[in-house]
């Protein structure tokens, strides 16, 4: 049995970005090479790594000054070393930078929530597998069930056709996906309810073995609608 292949890719957006942070003080004594003015405002350029545009950690901090007369700007290489350190210390303080990385707390909360949800879902799946019902959907990894399954398009659906004694009869989908979200979407959209979604052959499995298939990763999740 070789399912129809459907290619599906999941994109994670990440990279680096930068933000200018205004300083809180004016400095004197540094001569602007453009106009000769000696009064400058301070600022900093904070670059950071992001995931889905949520700042996660800083990658660089650059000190800068802006001439209050001609608005010319100068950064690290053009600023005396000690002055650059003072500017970085005053600009990149907790008040200015911590709020930018509040997204880390959000990510941490989402991860904890996902872990708790996963545990609850696993317990529910084990309960469903112990007492299967007609039209239960099993999102499965075909490579852990069939020797000739495509290793790239390996996720599909097995639907309970009937339950008799200790045996469950399962219909096998014709379609294989690269990600388990593909079969889940077909269930949500009602495609997996149609008998034409499945191959003509069915397989019979002892109910006592379904839990082991879940432990081994052959059954990824169970949907009961």
- Taking only the tens place, the pLDDT of each residue in 189-219 is 999 999 999 999 999 999 999 999 999 999 9
- As a whole number of angstroms, the distance between CA 109 and CA 217 comes to 26
Burial class, 173, CB count within 10 angstroms (exposed 0-12 / middle 13-18 / buried 19+): buried
Spell out a b/e string for 188-212, using b for 16 or more CB atoms within 10 Å of the CB, else e. eeeebeeeebbeeeeeebebeebee
Specify the pLDDT at position 14.
77
Specify the pLDDT at position 4.
54
- As a whole number of angstroms, the distance between CA 144 and CA 155 comes to 10
- As a whole number of angstroms, the distance between CA 60 and CA 16 comes to 10
Specify the pLDDT at position 128.
97
pLDDT tens-digit readout, 147-177: 999 999 999 999 999 999 999 999 999 999 9
Residue 65 sits at φ, ψ, to 5 deg, of -135, 150
- As a whole number of angstroms, the distance between CA 93 and CA 78 comes to 22
Question: How many alpha carbons lie under 13 Å from residue 155 in its C-beta half-sphere?
Answer: 19
Specify the pLDDT at position 54.
79
Q: Which residues of the chain have pLDDT under 50?
A: 1-2, 7
pTM higher than 0.85, yes or no?
Answer: no
219-223 vs 155-164, strand pairing mode = unpaired
Specify the pLDDT at position 193.
96
């Amino acid at each position: 049995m070789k399912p129809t292949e459907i290619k599906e890719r999941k994109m994670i957006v990440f990279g680096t970005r930068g933000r200018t942070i205004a300083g809180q003080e004016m400095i004197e004594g540094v001569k602007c090479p453009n106009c000769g003015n000696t009064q400058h405002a301070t600022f900093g350029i904070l670059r950071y790594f992001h995931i889905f545009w949520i700042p996660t950690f800083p990658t660089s901090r650059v000190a800068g000054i802006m001439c209050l007369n001609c608005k010319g700007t100068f950064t690290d290489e053009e600023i005396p070393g000690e002055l650059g350190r003072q500017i970085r210390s005053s600009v990149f303080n907790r008040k200015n930078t911590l709020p930018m990385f509040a997204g880390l707390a959000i990510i941490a909360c989402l991860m904890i929530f996902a872990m708790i949800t996963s545990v609850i879902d696993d317990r529910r799946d084990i309960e469903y597998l112990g007492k299967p019902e007609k039209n239960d959907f099993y999102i499965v990894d075909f490579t852990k069930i069939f020797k000739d399954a495509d290793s790239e398009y390996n996720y599909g659906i097995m639907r309970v056709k009937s339950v008799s004694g200790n045996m469950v009869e399962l219909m096998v989908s014709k379609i294989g996906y690269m990600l388990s979200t593909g079969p889940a979407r077909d269930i949500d959209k009602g495609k997996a309810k149609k008998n034409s979604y499945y191959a003509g052959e069915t397989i019979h499995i002892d109910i006592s073995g379904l839990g082991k298939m879940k432990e081994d990763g052959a059954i990824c999740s169970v949907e009961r609608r």
